[in-house]
Amino acid sequence: MKRILLLLIIVAALMPLVNAQQGMFAPSVQSPLIGKDGSVIFKVKAPDADTVRLIIDSRLDTLMQRQNDGNWSLTLRDLKPDLYMYHYSIDGVKVLDDNNAQVCHDVKNVMNKFILDPYGDCPMAVHDVPHGDVSAVWYDSPSLGMKRRMMVYTPAGYEESRQRYPVLYLLHGTGGDETVWTEQGRTAQILDNLIASGKAEPMIVVMPNGNVDEPAAAGSGPDNNVQPTFAHKNWMDGTFEQSFNDIKTWVDSHYRTRDAKRYRAIAGLSMGGYHSLYISANQPDDFGYVGLFSPAIGRMDKGKSKIYDDIETKLVNQFKQRPKLYWMGIGKDDFLYKDNAEFRKMLDQHRLRYTYYESTRGHEWTNWRDYLVIFTQLLFK
């Protein structure tokens, strides 16, 4: 009682000082309200609005229903367990959920997020299992002439043990940065859960920044107010691929890695899949496992760098040395589907053996998280 009273005194005292913080003192509506049955109820106050829409990443854009109390509401059922990103549109103006402080951004678009885990088995959710650590580290890149930032996941027990671990290098797409695989990608939660259940081997996951124009994500580099963007100067021109060994060398000298091809994997989404394709083809002795998630393959490469020349010859040579796994995943609706089909056809003509996974939907995070869940269970076994 005394504690509650004191709390009220402090909150009351704080109010004039935090006039910006309506969200904090607004009558606390719970939104989204997630039921045990997996239903999700969204509620937003907008008494004067004519139309309020709910937009869930690229999955849903629908009208909400006006309630008598000035709120607009919508109930969704049978959503797949996953991470969801959403926002409201009130008379055409983008508005975040004032009752949800959990946000995430995709390139420049800031959205609220929630986790749907009705059965307690969603690999993207945090569960009560041993957790690995995630570090934002700065490594030296002599080829790019700068210190660069990357995220490194070390599995639970790494600090206490003396053993060496295999490494997955996990690359992002254009518009992304070193943080996206731990944010939208849920890498730490996915690995924590798969390792705890014995479905994946304990591994180090290295998530560098594939945009060579910036040393770090927006807000973490010397250009303090730079914004995330699709437009890069040195973009898919071989620069990142040529500088990749700076990362590998630094990781092998700073972490207890198993420095051998069969203990090293590289994978990436979109531009990161393109990077993974060319880095592994140019360094056939380095990667026992390759994962191409909706890779940005599209004849964009010829002549731009020796990294991209004679790719068929390089691939034939790479497969001669028998990678343990060459995995490709793409969604039926992906705008890169046709280019990927042609790439697979070329691999087939050369009788190069790969694993192919085709999902529904398009070029989006719900697919890339699923691909990571599938791919990481196949590594280092």
Report helix, strand or coil for 53: strand
Binding residues for its own copies, rule CB under 8 A, total 96
For position 145 contacting its own copies by CB under 8 A, the verdict is no
Return the residue of 51, 62, 102, 355 that touches its own copies, per CB under 8 A: 102
Return the residue of 64, 74, 76, 90 that touches its own copies, per CB under 8 A: 90
- Interface residues for its own copies in 324-343 (CB under 8 A)? 333, 335-336
For position 35 contacting its own copies by CB under 8 A, the verdict is no
For position 362 contacting its own copies by CB under 8 A, the verdict is yes
361 contacts 367 by C-beta, under 8 angstroms: yes
- Interface residues for its own copies in 180-209 (CB under 8 A)? none
- Interface residues for its own copies in 105-124 (CB under 8 A)? 105-111, 113-115, 117
Return the residue of 80, 254, 320, 350 that touches its own copies, per CB under 8 A: 254
* CA distance linking residue 344 with residue 356, whole number of Å: 9
330 contacts 337 by C-beta, under 8 angstroms: yes
Return the residue of 62, 65, 147, 321 that touches its own copies, per CB under 8 A: 147
188: Cβ contacts below 8 Å, ≥ 6 apart:
131, 132, 134, 153, 182
* CA distance linking residue 126 with residue 190, whole number of Å: 8
Minimal distance in Å, beta carbon 13 to its own copies? 4
172 contacts 268 by C-beta, under 8 angstroms: yes
| Residue range at the interface with its own copies (CB under 8 A); choices 48-56, 65-73, 257-265, 283-291 | 48-56
Nearest residue (CB) to its own copies, 243 versus 294: 294
Identify the CA nearest to 191 among candidates 129, 251, 259: 129
For position 237 contacting its own copies by CB under 8 A, the verdict is yes
* CA distance linking residue 53 with residue 18, whole number of Å: 29
Return the residue of 41, 144, 196, 300 that touches its own copies, per CB under 8 A: 300
* CA distance linking residue 360 with residue 375, whole number of Å: 17
For position 213 contacting its own copies by CB under 8 A, the verdict is no
